[in-house]
Chain A
Amino acid sequence: MDNTTTQSPTSDPPALEAVGISKRFDTVVANQDVNLRVEKGQIHALLGENGAGKSTLVNILFGLYRADEGEVRVNGAPVRMDSPHDAIDHHIGMVHQHFQLVPVLTVAENIVLGHEPTRARGLLDIDRAATEVGELGKRFGLEVDPRATVEDLPVGMQQRVEILRALYRKADVLILDEPTAVLTPQETDHLLEVLRGLAAEGVAIVFITHKLREVLAVADRVTVMRGGRVVGSTTPAETDQAGLAEMMVGRSVVLRVAKTEARPEAGVLEIRDLHVRDDRDRPAVDGLSLEVRAGEIFGIAGVDGNGQRELVEAMTGLRMSDSGSILLEGSDITGCTPRQISELGVAHIPEDREKHGLIGPHSIADNLVLNRYFRVPYARRGLRQHDAINDEAERLVADYDIRTESIRAPARSLSGGNKQKVITARELSRGARLLVASQPTRGIDVGSIEFVHQQIVGQRDNGVAVLLISAELDEILSLSDRIGVIFKGRLVAIADAADLDRAAIGRLMTAGTDAA
């Protein structure tokens, strides 16, 4: 990697600078005296765990939040940043983690929104917009059909639209918030290449991530945040993955999951030729078959939106399937209710923990017994038994290291990692035969990731069949014993984990075939 050629002379003022930024939300300090200096033509990685304050900082830089203290400087001059409109006026562009695109509008409409080309005052010139967007895409290697509707595009394409929108406004500074979280390895490589090209043209880039490999691959400079503060700034040449991880977490971390050879036994889950439709009534799972045996972790790799959600929902009784069958230890559970399936010993860690994993306003204790509250000893003759519920909750909070002041606190008051621990505790403490874990570590801190991974491997070692669905290829690779790659609703490859490498899986994820 060449990290030095794009550095500009140090005599220029920095393209974007944050000086002494502090921001509080009620009692939580999100940013404390944060300084950041981004030079022209520099790729500046902002590294930190979830909750470290990275997003708060860039939202201040983009005018979405207002800092309590400190100032933002553009090209050396202090500026007022009251709204994104101000940021855009100062040629700052942002690619958001949750894309800020209007799904029902076209690519061109989304890109020109707010800065539309017109034929006469107020009369939209959509043809010119489409032409300009097409040319812009060609110039930066970000081709996308300007007339396509955004909601019909895969996420990788939607991200291109976000980047193009910033470039359309002539951004000199481009802020990208976790841009690779939704991309396949190939798409990630392409994005990093595009970023290098932009930096070469003099664009300053702020690149937020928690993936160490990408930082080392592309950044000219790294600033690490923890607990709302900047804990250090360095260059890739001066450090390595372990060094960065330690700065990020504040202690040394085990980056690899320790696990022994799997000893698979009889089959537990068998899916035969399953067909499921999505919310818009289009085929999402399209003739999928697989088998998961007791004592193994079967990982499903794939780009989000290739039928993973519908597959999991069909298996757990949340969605009707069109045809095909789902067998649990030989008996057909297709069409069973979620309660029936759960009672048969299927544990489920859902993809969206806020929506399907927890009842936010209810207490932690109630959430911990959500899959058994109706049974003795938690209820007798229809009356809830608070002592039994509280005893069980206290036990689980201790066993699963859930950090909370009280089991009576509402579940939504917990951090992401602790919410995930509540779900894990509830689902795994009851003796499951099959564990369906969907994106089990999405958006949680490194410490909680370690914990959840250990729990999943522990279940496997106890003879539970584990189906792991994750968009994080690293997670699939480090946990799975066998891997299936899902593409357009079917498994295009199933192999032992040892027989597949990153690049091959990446090609299968994007193209459905291993032809390079």
Chain B
Amino acid sequence: MSMLTRYRWWFATAAFLVAFTLFTAEFQQPQTTAVLAATLRQSTPLVLGALCGILCERSGVINIGIEGQMLMSAFAGFVVASSTGDLLLGVAAGIGCGMLMGAFLAFLSVSLQSDQIIAGTVMNIAAIGLTSFFFQQGRSLPSGKTSMIKMGPLADLPVVGRVFFSNRPLTYITLLLVPVLWYALFRTTWGLRTRAVGEHPSAAETAGVSVVRIRYMNLMLGGGLAGLAGAYLSLEAVGSFERLMTNGKGFVALAVMIFGRWNPVGAWGAALLFGYANAVQTQFQFRGWLADDPQFIGMMPFIVTIVVVAGFVGRARPPASIGQPYSRE
């Protein structure tokens, strides 16, 4: 099969999106750039959340608590950054908070072998309750949010420069994490062991791989990524903490993970599509198109999701052991 036929749907989708972008931007360069930059911005927390999901599920644990991990970390990061005035410390606090929650999920689902869906739900509910309770109005970041870094002359390129080479630090880190995690998952011993544990834990165990160790490690690493997503929201995207500011992104990240077939690069592509749908929606509102039907515009990202997931993606095959607690005897 030639490349062209094999990936025909991807090519068709890409061509359609390009045409659609140009159309909504009325073929103006600044508007096109704005849509694309917004796409990247919107996709960043989704990518991080999906990478968290990939680390967890590839090792066989469903993490439905990504939303809670993000929210709690956004809060922790903001509180630390606003009280110390140090953004770096804030980001570290966000990551640390996510890892702690990952360890908590591992304790519930690996050590106590409780139901993984319930364990994740517990985290989501706890995060909403705790952040709402301790949230104080009026705090702010003394140093403002993370600052823009321009990549020298690359940033001056038309369109591409604005979209890819003048961003804030966590966005760059996310773009870097995608290939790094892909490589780690498919080219390192850790990756091989992770995939083996997620597919067939008892086979991995008899090969001398500790299922418990791998799952703890991956859940904590994944939690760190969700924590980074939270820090991104409060310290880079918005610059403050708001109640329920994750707004379902942790769940959309799960859809992104599935759409991307549990593959970091696939998830990145999927997150871009979701981000794009959001960016175009904003563009519609901005231009006042379909202004009489705001609900219709608000629906667009979801319509895109349904059409793409139902029409373009074949049946995805999740890691075989997800959701099942593992015990040796």
Contacts and interface: CB of A to CB of B under 8 A. Distances in A.
Nearest to A104: B199
Q: Which of A62, A104, A105, A113 has the most CB of B within 10 A?
A: A113
17 contacts: A64-B328, A83-B205, A83-B208, A83-B328, A88-B208, A94-B206, A99-B203, A100-B202, A100-B203, A102-B200, A102-B203, A103-B199, A113-B203, A113-B209, A114-B207, A115-B207, A122-B188
B207 A124 contact: no
Contacts of A126: 187
Contact of B207 (A25, A65, A100, A104): A100
Given A83-B210, A105-B196, A110-B203, 19 more contacts: A65-B328, A83-B328, A84-B205, A84-B206, A84-B207, A85-B210, A88-B208, A94-B206, A102-B196, A102-B204, A104-B199, A104-B320, A105-B195, A113-B196, A114-B208, A115-B208, A118-B189, A122-B188, A123-B188
A124 B195 CA distance: 13
Interface in B177-195: 187-193, 195
Contacts of A211: none
Q: For chain B, what secondary structure do more than half of its interface residues adopt (helix, strand, loop), or is it mixed?
A: helix
B187 to A, nearest CB: 6
Contacts of B210: 83, 85
Contact of A113 (B193, B202, B320): B193
A84 B188 contact: no
A165 interface: yes
Interface in A91-109: 94, 96, 99-105, 109
B26 interface: no
Nearest to B205: A84
B329 interface: yes
A85 B208 contact: yes
Interface in B313-328: 320, 328
A31 to B, nearest CB: 14
A145 interface: no
Contacts of A84: 205-208
B205 to A, nearest CB: 6
A116 interface: yes
Contact of B192 (A62, A65, A94, A109): A109
Q: Interface residue tally of chain B, by bracket? A: 20 to 34
B23 to A, nearest CB: 39
A100 B208 CA distance: 12
A282 to B, nearest CB: 15
Contact of A64 (B190, B206, B320): B206
Q: Interface residue tally of chain A, by bracket? A: 20 to 34
Q: For chain A, what secondary structure do more than half of its interface residues adopt (helix, strand, loop), or is it mixed?
A: loop
Contacts of A101: 200, 203
B188 A113 contact: no
A94 B203 CA distance: 11
B199 A122 contact: no
Contacts of B191: 124
Contacts of B320: 103-104
Q: Which of B193, B203, B206, B329 has the most CB of A within 10 A?
A: B206
Contacts of B204: 102, 113-114
A114 B196 CA distance: 10
Interface in A3-42: 25
A163 B199 CA distance: 21
Interface in B187-234: 187-193, 195-196, 199-200, 202-210
A116 B192 contact: yes
A124 B205 contact: no
A100 B209 CA distance: 12
B262 to A, nearest CB: 11
Given A65-B329, A122-B188, A124-B187, A102 B195 contact: yes
Interface in A101-140: 101-105, 109-110, 113-116, 118, 122-124, 126
B182 to A, nearest CB: 14
A96 B208 CA distance: 14
10 tightest A-B CB contacts, nearest first: A114-B208, A114-B207, A100-B203, A85-B208, A100-B206, A113-B207, A116-B189, A102-B200, A102-B199, A114-B209
B294 to A, nearest CB: 44
Contacts of A109: 192, 196
Interface string B144-184: 00000000000000000000000000000000000000000
A110 B207 CA distance: 9
B215 to A, nearest CB: 15
